[in-house]
Amino acid sequence: MTTFKQSDLLKSLPKQFFASLVQKVNKVKTEGHDVINLGQGNPDQPTPRHIVDRLKQAAENPKNHKYPPFSGKSELKRAAAEFYQREYGVHLDPEKEIAILFGGKTGLVELPQCLLNPGDIMLVPDPGYPDYWSGAALAKVHMEMMPLKEKNHFLPLLSDIPSEIADKAKMMILNYPNNPTGAVATKEFFEETAEFASSRDICVVHDFAYGGIGFDGKKPVSFLQVEGAKETGIEIYTFSKTFNMAGWRVAFAAGNASAIEAINLLQDHIYVSIFGAIQDAAAEALLSSQQAAQEINNVYEKRRNVLISGLQEIGWNVKAPQGSFFAWLKVPSGFTSQQFSDLLLEKAHVAVAPGIGFGKHGEGYVRVGLLTSEQRLQEAVNRIKSLGIF
Protein backbone atom coordinates (compact mmCIF):
# COMPACT_ATOMS: atom_id res chain seq x y z
CA MET A 1 0.00 0.00 0.00
CA THR A 2 1.30 3.46 -0.94
CA THR A 3 1.98 5.81 1.96
CA PHE A 4 1.19 9.35 0.93
CA LYS A 5 3.22 12.11 2.52
CA GLN A 6 1.40 14.83 4.39
CA SER A 7 1.46 18.33 2.98
CA ASP A 8 3.80 20.99 4.28
CA LEU A 9 0.69 22.79 5.59
CA LEU A 10 -0.24 19.85 7.83
CA LYS A 11 3.34 19.54 9.00
CA SER A 12 3.26 23.22 10.01
CA LEU A 13 0.35 22.75 12.41
CA PRO A 14 1.14 22.96 16.15
CA LYS A 15 1.44 19.70 18.05
CA GLN A 16 -1.69 18.77 20.00
CA PHE A 17 -0.29 19.16 23.52
CA PHE A 18 -3.24 17.58 25.26
CA ALA A 19 -3.07 14.36 23.25
CA SER A 20 -0.26 13.31 25.61
CA LEU A 21 -2.47 14.08 28.63
CA VAL A 22 -5.21 11.82 27.25
CA GLN A 23 -2.64 9.05 26.75
CA LYS A 24 -1.38 9.42 30.32
CA VAL A 25 -4.91 9.33 31.74
CA ASN A 26 -5.80 6.24 29.71
CA LYS A 27 -2.62 4.48 30.85
CA VAL A 28 -3.48 5.02 34.52
CA LYS A 29 -7.05 3.84 33.86
CA THR A 30 -5.85 0.64 32.18
CA GLU A 31 -3.79 -0.06 35.29
CA GLY A 32 -7.11 -0.32 37.13
CA HIS A 33 -7.21 3.06 38.87
CA ASP A 34 -10.25 5.32 39.23
CA VAL A 35 -9.16 8.59 37.65
CA ILE A 36 -11.02 11.81 38.40
CA ASN A 37 -10.44 13.63 35.12
CA LEU A 38 -10.47 17.39 35.67
CA GLY A 39 -8.22 18.08 32.69
CA GLN A 40 -10.84 18.20 29.96
CA GLY A 41 -13.26 20.90 28.79
CA ASN A 42 -16.27 18.81 27.75
CA PRO A 43 -19.61 19.71 29.46
CA ASP A 44 -20.83 16.72 31.46
CA GLN A 45 -24.55 17.55 31.65
CA PRO A 46 -27.18 16.89 28.94
CA THR A 47 -28.70 19.52 26.67
CA PRO A 48 -31.91 20.97 28.20
CA ARG A 49 -34.98 18.90 27.32
CA HIS A 50 -36.92 21.64 25.50
CA ILE A 51 -34.04 22.09 23.03
CA VAL A 52 -33.82 18.36 22.36
CA ASP A 53 -37.59 18.21 21.85
CA ARG A 54 -37.38 21.04 19.32
CA LEU A 55 -34.70 19.11 17.42
CA LYS A 56 -36.90 16.02 17.28
CA GLN A 57 -39.82 18.04 15.97
CA ALA A 58 -37.68 19.88 13.42
CA ALA A 59 -36.09 16.65 12.19
CA GLU A 60 -39.55 15.45 11.10
CA ASN A 61 -39.98 18.46 8.81
CA PRO A 62 -39.13 17.45 5.22
CA LYS A 63 -37.91 20.99 4.51
CA ASN A 64 -35.00 20.28 6.81
CA HIS A 65 -34.04 17.22 4.77
CA LYS A 66 -32.88 19.45 1.91
CA TYR A 67 -29.81 21.64 1.68
CA PRO A 68 -30.23 24.58 4.05
CA PRO A 69 -29.32 28.09 2.86
CA PHE A 70 -25.55 28.27 2.46
CA SER A 71 -25.21 31.19 4.88
CA GLY A 72 -27.58 29.70 7.44
CA LYS A 73 -31.30 29.95 8.12
CA SER A 74 -32.70 33.45 8.51
CA GLU A 75 -34.70 32.22 11.51
CA LEU A 76 -31.53 31.42 13.45
CA LYS A 77 -29.88 34.70 12.50
CA ARG A 78 -32.94 36.65 13.63
CA ALA A 79 -32.95 34.66 16.88
CA ALA A 80 -29.28 35.54 17.44
CA ALA A 81 -30.03 39.23 16.88
CA GLU A 82 -32.97 39.10 19.29
CA PHE A 83 -30.81 37.28 21.87
CA TYR A 84 -28.13 40.00 21.73
CA GLN A 85 -30.73 42.76 21.95
CA ARG A 86 -32.38 41.15 24.96
CA GLU A 87 -29.27 40.02 26.83
CA TYR A 88 -26.79 42.80 26.02
CA GLY A 89 -28.74 45.71 24.54
CA VAL A 90 -26.82 45.35 21.26
CA HIS A 91 -28.61 45.91 17.94
CA LEU A 92 -27.49 43.63 15.10
CA ASP A 93 -28.63 43.34 11.49
CA PRO A 94 -29.42 39.59 11.18
CA GLU A 95 -28.35 39.30 7.54
CA LYS A 96 -25.29 41.58 7.52
CA GLU A 97 -23.91 41.32 11.05
CA ILE A 98 -24.40 37.65 11.96
CA ALA A 99 -22.78 34.53 10.46
CA ILE A 100 -23.71 30.97 11.43
CA LEU A 101 -20.70 28.82 12.36
CA PHE A 102 -19.98 25.09 12.68
CA GLY A 103 -19.08 25.57 16.32
CA GLY A 104 -17.04 28.38 17.83
CA LYS A 105 -13.71 26.66 17.16
CA THR A 106 -14.38 26.69 13.42
CA GLY A 107 -14.95 30.44 13.36
CA LEU A 108 -11.83 31.12 15.41
CA VAL A 109 -9.67 29.01 13.11
CA GLU A 110 -11.28 30.41 9.94
CA LEU A 111 -11.01 34.10 10.71
CA PRO A 112 -7.25 34.55 10.16
CA GLN A 113 -7.70 32.90 6.74
CA CYS A 114 -10.59 35.28 6.00
CA LEU A 115 -8.90 38.56 6.88
CA LEU A 116 -5.11 38.10 7.00
CA ASN A 117 -2.37 37.34 4.49
CA PRO A 118 0.78 35.25 5.03
CA GLY A 119 3.24 37.14 7.22
CA ASP A 120 0.62 39.43 8.79
CA ILE A 121 0.67 39.88 12.57
CA MET A 122 -1.99 38.50 14.88
CA LEU A 123 -2.05 39.38 18.60
CA VAL A 124 -2.81 36.30 20.70
CA PRO A 125 -3.30 35.86 24.47
CA ASP A 126 -0.75 33.80 26.42
CA PRO A 127 -1.96 31.63 28.09
CA GLY A 128 -4.81 30.95 25.70
CA TYR A 129 -6.91 28.38 23.86
CA PRO A 130 -4.39 26.40 21.75
CA ASP A 131 -6.55 26.38 18.63
CA TYR A 132 -5.81 30.09 18.20
CA TRP A 133 -2.36 28.85 17.17
CA SER A 134 -3.93 26.46 14.66
CA GLY A 135 -5.72 29.37 12.96
CA ALA A 136 -2.45 31.27 12.72
CA ALA A 137 -0.62 28.26 11.25
CA LEU A 138 -3.30 27.61 8.60
CA ALA A 139 -3.27 31.26 7.54
CA LYS A 140 0.57 31.38 7.72
CA VAL A 141 0.48 34.49 9.87
CA HIS A 142 2.85 35.57 12.63
CA MET A 143 1.68 35.45 16.25
CA GLU A 144 2.72 38.07 18.78
CA MET A 145 1.81 36.93 22.27
CA MET A 146 0.06 39.15 24.81
CA PRO A 147 0.99 37.96 28.33
CA LEU A 148 -1.91 37.47 30.75
CA LYS A 149 -0.55 38.00 34.24
CA GLU A 150 -2.24 37.63 37.60
CA LYS A 151 -1.11 41.08 38.75
CA ASN A 152 -3.21 42.58 35.92
CA HIS A 153 -6.18 40.27 36.58
CA PHE A 154 -5.20 38.20 33.51
CA LEU A 155 -6.01 41.06 31.13
CA PRO A 156 -3.37 41.98 28.52
CA LEU A 157 -1.65 45.32 29.04
CA LEU A 158 -2.20 46.97 25.67
CA SER A 159 0.33 49.67 26.57
CA ASP A 160 3.01 46.96 26.76
CA ILE A 161 2.59 45.99 23.11
CA PRO A 162 5.55 47.58 21.26
CA SER A 163 4.36 50.31 18.92
CA GLU A 164 6.10 48.72 15.92
CA ILE A 165 4.06 45.55 16.57
CA ALA A 166 0.78 47.28 17.37
CA ASP A 167 0.97 49.42 14.23
CA LYS A 168 1.46 46.36 12.00
CA ALA A 169 -1.02 44.03 13.71
CA LYS A 170 -4.14 43.11 11.72
CA MET A 171 -6.06 41.03 14.29
CA MET A 172 -6.34 40.63 18.06
CA ILE A 173 -7.82 37.57 19.78
CA LEU A 174 -9.44 38.02 23.20
CA ASN A 175 -11.43 35.56 25.33
CA TYR A 176 -13.46 36.54 28.43
CA PRO A 177 -14.59 34.82 30.57
CA ASN A 178 -11.18 33.35 29.95
CA ASN A 179 -9.95 29.86 29.20
CA PRO A 180 -7.80 28.84 31.01
CA THR A 181 -7.67 31.48 33.79
CA GLY A 182 -11.38 31.96 34.58
CA ALA A 183 -10.84 35.75 34.56
CA VAL A 184 -13.47 38.18 33.32
CA ALA A 185 -13.10 41.45 31.42
CA THR A 186 -14.40 44.82 32.53
CA LYS A 187 -16.33 47.22 30.34
CA GLU A 188 -13.47 49.69 30.79
CA PHE A 189 -10.98 47.19 29.37
CA PHE A 190 -13.18 46.56 26.34
CA GLU A 191 -13.55 50.32 25.81
CA GLU A 192 -9.77 50.69 25.87
CA THR A 193 -9.47 47.75 23.45
CA ALA A 194 -11.99 49.17 20.98
CA GLU A 195 -10.16 52.53 20.96
CA PHE A 196 -6.75 50.83 20.61
CA ALA A 197 -7.96 48.66 17.72
CA SER A 198 -9.93 51.36 15.93
CA SER A 199 -6.95 53.71 15.75
CA ARG A 200 -4.85 50.98 14.11
CA ASP A 201 -7.42 49.15 11.94
CA ILE A 202 -7.04 45.96 13.99
CA CYS A 203 -9.91 43.48 13.85
CA VAL A 204 -10.76 42.38 17.40
CA VAL A 205 -12.06 38.81 17.60
CA HIS A 206 -13.65 38.21 20.99
CA ASP A 207 -14.14 34.54 21.81
CA PHE A 208 -17.25 34.72 24.02
CA ALA A 209 -17.51 30.94 24.47
CA TYR A 210 -18.15 31.27 28.22
CA GLY A 211 -20.41 34.30 27.96
CA GLY A 212 -23.21 32.43 29.73
CA ILE A 213 -21.10 31.46 32.77
CA GLY A 214 -20.47 34.18 35.34
CA PHE A 215 -20.38 33.93 39.13
CA ASP A 216 -21.31 35.90 42.23
CA GLY A 217 -24.28 37.51 40.50
CA LYS A 218 -22.16 39.17 37.81
CA LYS A 219 -23.12 38.76 34.16
CA PRO A 220 -20.10 38.57 31.79
CA VAL A 221 -19.68 41.65 29.60
CA SER A 222 -20.02 41.38 25.82
CA PHE A 223 -17.35 43.17 23.79
CA LEU A 224 -20.10 44.43 21.50
CA GLN A 225 -21.67 46.36 24.39
CA VAL A 226 -19.02 49.07 24.29
CA GLU A 227 -19.04 52.02 21.91
CA GLY A 228 -17.20 51.40 18.67
CA ALA A 229 -16.83 47.65 19.20
CA LYS A 230 -19.12 46.61 16.37
CA GLU A 231 -17.21 48.86 14.00
CA THR A 232 -13.84 47.32 14.84
CA GLY A 233 -14.50 43.67 15.59
CA ILE A 234 -16.68 40.64 16.02
CA GLU A 235 -17.71 38.32 18.81
CA ILE A 236 -18.08 34.55 18.57
CA TYR A 237 -20.86 33.01 20.64
CA THR A 238 -21.19 29.25 20.90
CA PHE A 239 -24.10 27.15 22.16
CA SER A 240 -21.68 24.56 23.58
CA LYS A 241 -21.29 26.00 27.06
CA THR A 242 -24.36 28.17 27.74
CA PHE A 243 -26.77 25.43 26.65
CA ASN A 244 -24.66 22.24 27.01
CA MET A 245 -24.73 21.76 23.21
CA ALA A 246 -21.06 20.93 22.64
CA GLY A 247 -21.76 17.98 20.36
CA TRP A 248 -24.25 19.90 18.22
CA ARG A 249 -21.51 22.04 16.61
CA VAL A 250 -23.37 25.30 16.21
CA ALA A 251 -22.32 28.89 16.98
CA PHE A 252 -22.48 32.32 15.43
CA ALA A 253 -20.26 35.33 14.83
CA ALA A 254 -21.71 38.81 15.40
CA GLY A 255 -20.42 42.29 14.65
CA ASN A 256 -18.49 44.01 11.88
CA ALA A 257 -20.31 43.52 8.57
CA SER A 258 -17.16 43.20 6.43
CA ALA A 259 -15.78 40.44 8.66
CA ILE A 260 -19.14 38.65 8.57
CA GLU A 261 -19.15 38.88 4.77
CA ALA A 262 -15.66 37.36 4.66
CA ILE A 263 -16.69 34.44 6.89
CA ASN A 264 -19.72 33.71 4.73
CA LEU A 265 -17.60 33.81 1.58
CA LEU A 266 -15.09 31.28 2.90
CA GLN A 267 -17.82 29.02 4.25
CA ASP A 268 -19.63 29.12 0.90
CA HIS A 269 -16.62 27.31 -0.55
CA ILE A 270 -16.33 24.71 2.24
CA TYR A 271 -19.77 23.92 3.68
CA VAL A 272 -23.44 23.67 2.82
CA SER A 273 -24.47 25.03 6.22
CA ILE A 274 -25.66 23.11 9.30
CA PHE A 275 -28.54 20.60 9.33
CA GLY A 276 -31.68 22.72 9.41
CA ALA A 277 -33.16 20.93 12.42
CA ILE A 278 -30.11 21.80 14.51
CA GLN A 279 -30.50 25.44 13.46
CA ASP A 280 -34.18 25.37 14.49
CA ALA A 281 -33.25 23.90 17.88
CA ALA A 282 -30.52 26.52 18.30
CA ALA A 283 -33.07 29.26 17.65
CA GLU A 284 -35.28 27.67 20.31
CA ALA A 285 -32.39 27.84 22.78
CA LEU A 286 -31.93 31.56 22.13
CA LEU A 287 -35.58 32.61 22.11
CA SER A 288 -37.11 30.46 24.84
CA SER A 289 -36.83 30.85 28.61
CA GLN A 290 -33.23 31.15 29.81
CA GLN A 291 -34.03 29.33 33.07
CA ALA A 292 -32.18 26.18 31.95
CA ALA A 293 -29.10 28.24 31.06
CA GLN A 294 -29.23 29.89 34.49
CA GLU A 295 -29.49 26.49 36.16
CA ILE A 296 -26.41 25.31 34.24
CA ASN A 297 -24.56 28.42 35.48
CA ASN A 298 -25.67 27.70 39.05
CA VAL A 299 -24.34 24.14 38.85
CA TYR A 300 -20.88 25.41 37.92
CA GLU A 301 -20.93 28.02 40.67
CA LYS A 302 -21.77 25.40 43.32
CA ARG A 303 -19.01 23.16 42.00
CA ARG A 304 -16.56 26.05 42.03
CA ASN A 305 -17.39 26.78 45.66
CA VAL A 306 -16.90 23.15 46.69
CA LEU A 307 -13.55 22.89 44.91
CA ILE A 308 -12.05 26.22 45.93
CA SER A 309 -13.17 26.10 49.57
CA GLY A 310 -11.97 22.50 49.82
CA LEU A 311 -8.53 23.29 48.41
CA GLN A 312 -8.17 26.35 50.63
CA GLU A 313 -9.05 24.22 53.67
CA ILE A 314 -6.20 21.80 52.92
CA GLY A 315 -3.74 24.71 52.65
CA TRP A 316 -3.54 25.26 48.90
CA ASN A 317 -3.62 29.02 48.38
CA VAL A 318 -5.92 29.26 45.35
CA LYS A 319 -8.29 31.91 44.01
CA ALA A 320 -11.81 31.39 42.74
CA PRO A 321 -12.52 31.96 39.03
CA GLN A 322 -15.03 34.70 38.19
CA GLY A 323 -16.38 32.97 35.09
CA SER A 324 -16.04 29.97 32.72
CA PHE A 325 -16.07 26.40 34.01
CA PHE A 326 -12.34 26.33 34.76
CA ALA A 327 -10.20 27.13 37.79
CA TRP A 328 -6.60 28.32 37.31
CA LEU A 329 -4.51 27.16 40.23
CA LYS A 330 -0.93 28.13 41.09
CA VAL A 331 1.28 25.07 41.57
CA PRO A 332 3.34 24.65 44.76
CA SER A 333 6.92 25.90 44.72
CA GLY A 334 9.46 23.37 43.52
CA PHE A 335 7.26 22.00 40.73
CA THR A 336 6.74 22.86 37.09
CA SER A 337 3.16 22.67 35.88
CA GLN A 338 3.95 19.41 34.06
CA GLN A 339 5.67 17.86 37.09
CA PHE A 340 2.80 18.75 39.39
CA SER A 341 0.20 17.47 36.92
CA ASP A 342 2.09 14.18 36.59
CA LEU A 343 2.31 13.86 40.38
CA LEU A 344 -1.43 14.37 40.85
CA LEU A 345 -2.22 11.81 38.16
CA GLU A 346 0.26 9.17 39.30
CA LYS A 347 -0.15 9.47 43.07
CA ALA A 348 -3.71 10.84 43.56
CA HIS A 349 -5.25 9.67 40.27
CA VAL A 350 -6.53 13.20 39.63
CA ALA A 351 -5.99 14.55 36.12
CA VAL A 352 -5.46 18.28 35.59
CA ALA A 353 -4.13 20.21 32.59
CA PRO A 354 -0.60 21.67 32.97
CA GLY A 355 -0.53 25.39 32.32
CA ILE A 356 2.43 25.19 29.94
CA GLY A 357 0.06 23.62 27.40
CA PHE A 358 -1.67 27.00 27.04
CA GLY A 359 1.49 29.00 26.36
CA LYS A 360 4.74 30.11 27.98
CA HIS A 361 2.94 32.34 30.49
CA GLY A 362 0.79 29.41 31.60
CA GLU A 363 3.80 27.93 33.37
CA GLY A 364 3.33 27.79 37.13
CA TYR A 365 -0.39 26.95 36.97
CA VAL A 366 -2.71 24.04 36.31
CA ARG A 367 -6.19 24.23 34.83
CA VAL A 368 -8.98 22.34 36.58
CA GLY A 369 -12.37 21.76 34.95
CA LEU A 370 -15.60 22.01 36.96
CA LEU A 371 -17.07 19.26 34.81
CA THR A 372 -17.89 16.56 37.30
CA SER A 373 -20.14 16.32 40.34
CA GLU A 374 -19.59 18.11 43.64
CA GLN A 375 -18.98 14.70 45.22
CA ARG A 376 -16.19 13.86 42.77
CA LEU A 377 -14.64 17.31 43.22
CA GLN A 378 -14.62 16.81 46.98
CA GLU A 379 -13.07 13.38 46.48
CA ALA A 380 -10.37 14.99 44.33
CA VAL A 381 -9.66 17.45 47.16
CA ASN A 382 -9.39 14.57 49.63
CA ARG A 383 -6.97 12.69 47.39
CA ILE A 384 -4.77 15.76 46.95
CA LYS A 385 -4.81 16.31 50.72
CA SER A 386 -3.58 12.74 51.28
CA LEU A 387 -0.36 13.57 49.37
CA GLY A 388 0.70 15.83 52.26
CA ILE A 389 2.06 18.56 49.99
CA PHE A 390 0.23 21.46 51.58
How much is the average pLDDT of 289-317? 95
Q: What is the tens place of the pLDDT at every residue in 169-216?
A: 999 999 999 999 999 999 999 999 999 999 999 999 999 999 999 999
Decide if pLDDT at 124 tops 90: yes
For residues 293 and 212, is the Cβ–Cβ distance under 8 A? yes
* Alpha carbon separation from 68 to 64, 82, 109, 380 (Å, rounded): 7, 21, 23, 46
**Is 0.85 surpassed by the pTM of this model?**
yes
For residues 384 and 316, is the Cβ–Cβ distance under 8 A? yes
Give the CATH number of domain 8-46+292-386; options: 1.10.1740.10, 3.40.50.300, 3.90.1150.10, 3.50.50.60.
Answer: 3.90.1150.10
Decide if pLDDT at 236 tops 90: yes
Decide if pLDDT at 18 tops 90: no
Average pLDDT of the chain is: 95
| Strand partners for 306 | none
- Separate counts of helices (H) and strands (E) for the chain: 15, 12
How much is the average pLDDT of 17-37? 87
Domain-by-domain residue ranges, the chain? Answer: 8-46+292-386, 49-287
Decide if pLDDT at 56 tops 90: yes
For 221, list phi and psi in degrees, rounded to 5: -85, 135
Decide if pLDDT at 304 tops 90: yes
For residues 246 and 240, is the Cβ–Cβ distance under 8 A? yes
The pLDDT confidence band at residue 388, using thresholds 50, 70 and 90, is: confident
Map 207-253 to HEC letters: ECCCCCCECCCCCCCCHHHCCCHHHHEEEEEEHHHHCCCHHHCCEEE
How much is the average pLDDT of 249-264? 97
pLDDT at 347: 92
Decide if pLDDT at 47 tops 90: yes
| CATH 1.10.1040.10 applies to domain 49-287 | no
Cis peptide before 68 (omega within 30 of 0): no
d(CA 178, CA 150): 13
User: Same topology for domains 8-46+292-386 and 49-287, yes or no?
Assistant: no
d(CA 123, CA 351): 31
pLDDT at 50: 97
What is the dihedral sign for C-alpha 243, 321, 20, 122?
positive
Decide if pLDDT at 28 tops 90: no
Decide if pLDDT at 256 tops 90: yes
